Structures are given as C-alpha cells and as structure tokens.
Chains A and B, each alone.
Chain A
Amino acid sequence: MLLVVTYSRAARQTLRNVCNRHDEAVVQRFGRAALLDATELGAFLALRLREKHAGDVQLERTTTFNEFEEVPESVRDAAAAYEERDHASTPYAKFAVGTDHPDADAMRDAEL
C-alpha cells in the first residue's frame, strides 16, 4: 500500500478532498494521513498531492508485516513475556535484566 502523510493545513485539506473523491482507491484514512491502494491510480493520486504540496507530503510504500517471517524469535518472545509481566509499572529495561530477553539498546541497533 502507499502511505501518504501530510505536513501542512493545505496538504491535509487536499488529501481529504482526494480521499472523498476517490474513495475506491483509499484503504484507510487517518487524520492527516491515508493508505492508498498500491495501484497506478493510488500512485497517481499520491503523486498529484506531492506535485501540489512538495515537501509537505511524505510518500512511503508499506508492505504487510509477518512477525514469523521477519522478527527473530527472541524479540517475539520478549514482547509476549513483557505483556505478561507481574507489575504493570516495571519498565522493559528493568524487566529484561537477568533474563534471556534482549535488551532495548541491542534491539535498537539491530535492523530487521
């Protein structure tokens, strides 16, 4: 899908107009962002926005996310274990100490 994020009032308004007029190409609308179909029409609409508002429009291509394909087991286990923690107030850094779970800094530097 194509993610369109706007950074000005004018660009946000144009995005609203585009989404209203081309509902069929819109996957999801957020306040000042929208997901468009990865079709030529979606790309056309996104590029039109960028032509009109230049740097006030950010375009990214998004893909589906399968954690079993893309995320190491250690990270998945850590997320699950942290959600099962005994005390809601325990920060992750403290939670991870003395366990096999990766620490936050290590994860920060590791690209998926």
Chain B
Amino acid sequence: MRVRVADETRTGNVIDLRSYDLEITAVAEAIRDENTDSPVAIDCPPPGPAHAHVGAIRAGMAWSLRPALAAAARSRGHAPPQADALAEVRDLLDDLDAPAIDLRDARRRVAETTDAAEELREEVATLRGRVRALREADADPTDAEADLAETTRLLSEAETERIAAEQTLARAREQARADRERRRERLRLEDRAANLRRSARKSLADDVREAFEEAREKLPVDAEPPVSAALAVARVAALDAPVVVGTVESFDRVDALAEWVDAPVVRV
C-alpha cells in the first residue's frame, strides 16, 4: 500500500502513523474510499466484505461477532444455502414496484365541494325566507326572487361538483385498495428476505466459527475480548485492504501482527 499524509508518502506492508494524531475511523474510511476529506490518502486493494467489521480495531470497539464472522466467510467465497431463495425473493420484490396512489387531492376536493354546497344550501334557505316575508308584507319580491334563482342555480352546480368529487374519491379508493394488496405482498416478501438474510448470516458464521476459535486461542498479542475477537476474525477473513489498529500497548509488534493477520496493517 501507499500512504500519503501531510506531504509525506510511505509504502510498505506495515505502516506506523503514530507520530500523526489520526482518528482510527478516518483512516479506515480512507481505506474504504468513504471519506474524501480525510487527512490521509491510502492506495491499496479494494476492501472485501469483512473490512467494514474488522478494518478498524481498537480498544473498546463496539461490534457484534456474528455479522463479522458472516462477512469473513463471504470474503472467503462462502455462499449460504439461502442464497438462491434470497435472490428469488429479491427478483419478486423488484417486479413489485407499484405506482403510488395519492388520495390527498381527491379527499381535499370532497371536503371543499361539500363545504361549498353546504354554504349555498344555507343561503338558498335564507333567500327563500326573505322572498316569503316580502310576499306576505305585500312588498316587491322581484330582486329577492332573482337572487334566489341565481343562488339555486349555483347550488345545483355545486351539488354536481360535490357528487363528481365523491365519485372520483370512490374510484381512487378502489385503486388504492388494489395498490395495498401489492404493498401487503411486498411487506411479506421483505419480511421473508429479512428472515433469509438472518439465517444466511448464521450459516455463514457457522462456516468459519471453528477457524475463528482456533485463531483466537493462538493470538500473538494480549488483548481485551472485543479486540482479540476482532483480530481473530481479521485472520480468518480475506481482507486484501489494510487493517488499522489503534493504540493498545501490546500492538507494538506490528510486523508480527500483520504477518499473523495476513493483511497489511496501519498503526495509529
């Protein structure tokens, strides 16, 4: 690998960067090409699937063993027996992309047209009362009658619009019902995919568990459990890209560690 940091370039299989105050995660991200702002640039082979789990090993690291073991098995070319079923479920899911149906506009239109019709209905009732009152008082009802006729016409239009809006919403609801059938099926498939992934992880992890236990017993350095387990997984995995190891006293024999892990090592 080739490492460039602060105008300096270094090459080799084991590189010690302790003189620079670098964040271990920033270095691991630089290796995985995930962080372009990193103060360090590293040319190395692309990391395999296990690098995300054991690419940055330091005291107090939070991680879980099974996914790391599964990734290690993948990096060694193991395929789980669930692979075919999982691929099939993914294909089914890809075919299920349903168009989204948005009923919001239809719902709003029903509410608005209902309100408008209601308002006009009240107005018609008021005008009717006024016409009757004018007639009873022997006053001239002509203007009020004209208002009533006009408002009645508007009400009839509004009613027509309200009915149309309700029918549109009813149709959209029917479509949404069919759409939900597809969503229900998609959810069922997603759950199935998640279950398959879980059992695939377990079976992959089981594939390399024995090698992992052996490696952990023969660790060349003293380390706390998460670190010793991560180192053992790193040895079991095919990493290609360098492993970054953080400040732990017993990591001073970095050459020996790199040889044992069988991967390039960056010490920070």
B83: CB under 8 A from chain A? no
B186 and A8 contacting across the interface, CB-CB below 8 Å: yes
Number of interface residues of A (CB under 8 A): 9
Among B101, B176, B194, point to the contact of A9 (Cβ < 8 A): B194
A32–B191 Cα distance when bound, in Å, is 12
> Which B residues are CB-close (under 8 A) to A8?
183, 186-187, 190
A55–B177 Cα distance when bound, in Å, is 11
Interface of A is mostly: helix
A9 and B187 contacting across the interface, CB-CB below 8 Å: yes
User: Total A-B residue pairs with C-beta atoms closer than 8 Å?
Assistant: 26
> Which A residues are CB-close (under 8 A) to B179?
55
> Which A residues are CB-close (under 8 A) to B180?
7, 58
Number of interface residues of B (CB under 8 A): 13
A55–B100 Cα distance when bound, in Å, is 6
A93–B219 Cα distance when bound, in Å, is 74
Closest to A55 in B: B100
Contact with B along A1-28 (1 / 0, CB 8 A): 0000001110010000000000000000
> Which A residues are CB-close (under 8 A) to B183?
7-8, 55-56
A55–B184 Cα distance when bound, in Å, is 11
A41–B37 Cα distance when bound, in Å, is 44
Query: Nearest Cβ in chain A — how far from B137, in angstroms?
Result: 47
> Which A residues are CB-close (under 8 A) to B101?
55
A9–B184 Cα distance when bound, in Å, is 10
> Which B residues are CB-close (under 8 A) to A81?
none
Query: Nearest Cβ in chain B — how far from A49, in angstroms?
Result: 14
8 additional A-B pairs beyond A7-B187, A8-B190, A56-B183, beta carbons within 8 Å, are: A7-B186, A8-B183, A9-B194, A32-B187, A54-B102, A55-B102, A55-B176, A55-B179
Q: Which residues of A contact B (CB under 8 A)?
A: 7-9, 12, 32, 54-56, 58
Q: Which residues of B contact A (CB under 8 A)?
A: 100-102, 176, 179-180, 183-184, 186-187, 190-191, 194
Query: Can you list 10 A-B contacts (CB < 8 A)?
Result: A7-B180, A7-B184, A8-B187, A9-B187, A32-B187, A54-B102, A55-B100, A55-B102, A56-B183, A58-B176
